[in-house]
Chains A and B, each alone.
Chain A
Amino acid sequence: MAHEHKLEIFRGLVKFKSNIQKIWGVLIFLTIVTAVEVGLGITKPEFLTKNYFLGMKLLNWIFIILTLVKAYYIAWDFMHLRDEKSALRRAIVWTPIFLVCYLIFILLFEADYIYNVFKEGFLAWNF
């Protein structure tokens, strides 16, 4: 089985000599990202917890974006989606993304509505 590996990550910024080197490179990157996440989670810089963007703390935005970055590299390099045909890749990636975005949208809006009912409706639950 001849397997072609694309050895570039970061859009060609870093190019590895062999597939094994690329794997270790990706591991180092993922470890750094996780360390940053945990560091931020423990220190919780005030600048990031006090400021909001679209109703969510900046810190949580950073966590979610870093998670998606990690997920990208796990899928692209560990699950070698990078080496698959683009049609297969798109079918695998965009189908769940579309469905999950829709699910997040409807459920979180509904939850916010219920939160307001609990808060403002004539309903006692916190006693």
Chain B
Amino acid sequence: MDTTVTTGTEDSVWGGGNRPLNASYGKMMMWFFIVSDALTFSGFLVSYGFSRFKFIETWPIADEVFTHVPFFHGNFPMYYVAFMTFILIMSSVTMVLAVDAGHKMLQKKVIFYMFLTIIGGAIFVGSQAWEWATFIKGDYGALETKGGRILQFVNAETGERAALRDFSTELPEDRIKHEKNAGIWYQADGYTTSFSLNEVIEGFKASPNILIRTETINEEGEKTLLTRQESLAKLKNATQVVEGANLIHNEYGSRLFADFFFFITGFHGFHVFSGVLINIIIFFNVILGTYEKRGHYEMVEKVGLYWHFVDLVWVFVFTFFYLV
């Protein structure tokens, strides 16, 4: 068996430096990562679909949950999320422009466009933080029943949602936060709501224009409104007041909705955050002239791929969480 020793590696398939499919090693690996990460996100989104199909008749309506815009009062469904989507697409565009400038070896332009991309990413992450804060803080407040279902309130005269503070009566009672060391050791109040269950119930009985809205979605695609009689009967099932949302209680409806909101937008937000960090690193490398010395800006192209991927995922999150 003869061993052939070749001196020139150019002709040898296994000599290294090959670019299968005309993509460099780094770019190929980025695509590997993106495909596997896409499958992770799909897993999340499909399990959201699973839970939603399981409770298709009682799932919260996203239009009624995300209605806020910073600095404005009122009911603006979707506007802010649409703005966030636009910001992310816009930062994707500046990223492509940076990549394009990199191909032409224009350092100054790459710096400028990378900078804009980082700003866009930061605005997006900030908006998402604001949205989380609004979601956690809550809006109208609701009651939770024995079965873990949510009862919301509607003003019968205006047809608008009624907040707990609109009708609850202040009762002369002491409200003590239930802590683990007093009473049953495995039960504790996470937070004290602004009204006690008794205050809400008394207030409800005293205001005949308030009705209860259940989670069930009717034929028109709206939440079912109970009559006054049914409302009073339903009120007996209530066990606690819920304000805002966390992983265990959720005033907007099914608690799974809040769980998936935190997990999916959180996982995506984490991607955006790390994308911004990676962009900053590359940004400084560009300023230092690393890629000018290297002779090509492929690194910008690679982080660009990641950044576009984050945008791509958001397009799907936007559709399946906010629109559909």
Q: How many residues of A contact B (CB 8 A)?
A: 53
Asked if A63 contacts B324 (CB within 8 A), the reply is yes
With a cutoff of 8 Å between Cβ atoms, the chain B residues found around residue A85 in the complex are 21-23
Residue of A nearest to B315 (CB): A70
Smallest distance from the beta carbon of B26 to chain A beta carbons, Å? 13
Contact of A38 among B42, B82, B93, B237 (CB under 8 A): B82
Stretch from B46-54, B125-133, B181-189, B271-279 that touches the partner: B46-54
Contact of B323 among A49, A63, A84, A107 (CB under 8 A): A63
Residue of A nearest to B51 (CB): A111
Q: Is the CB of B312 within 8 A of A107?
A: no
Contact B50 A49, beta carbon cutoff 8 Å:
no
Whether, in the assembled complex, B259 has its beta carbon less than 8 Å from a beta carbon of chain A, the answer is no
Would A88 and B31 count as touching, CB distance under 8 A? yes
Contact present for B96 and A96 (CB under 8 Å): no
In-complex Cβ contact of B216 among A35, A91, A100, A126 (8 A): A126
Q: Which B residues lie at the A interface, using CB under 8 A?
A: 21-23, 31, 34-35, 38-39, 42-43, 46-47, 49-58, 63, 77-79, 82, 85-86, 89-90, 92-93, 95-97, 99-100, 103, 145-147, 149, 215-216, 221, 237, 296, 298, 304-305, 308-309, 311-312, 315-316, 318-319, 322-324
Interface of B is mostly: helix
Given contacts A38-B78, A74-B92, A107-B49, contact A126 B58 (CB under 8 A): yes
Given contacts A23-B96, A41-B322, A78-B311, is CB(A104)–CB(B86) below 8 Å?
A: no
Contacts of B304 in A (CB 8 A): 78-79
Interfacial chain A residues near B63, Cβ < 8 Å? 41-42
Does A125 interact with chain B (Cβ within 8 Å)? yes
Chain B nearest CB, measured from A98 CB (Å)? 11
User: Given A107-B46, A115-B53, A126 and B316 touching (CB < 8 A)?
Assistant: no
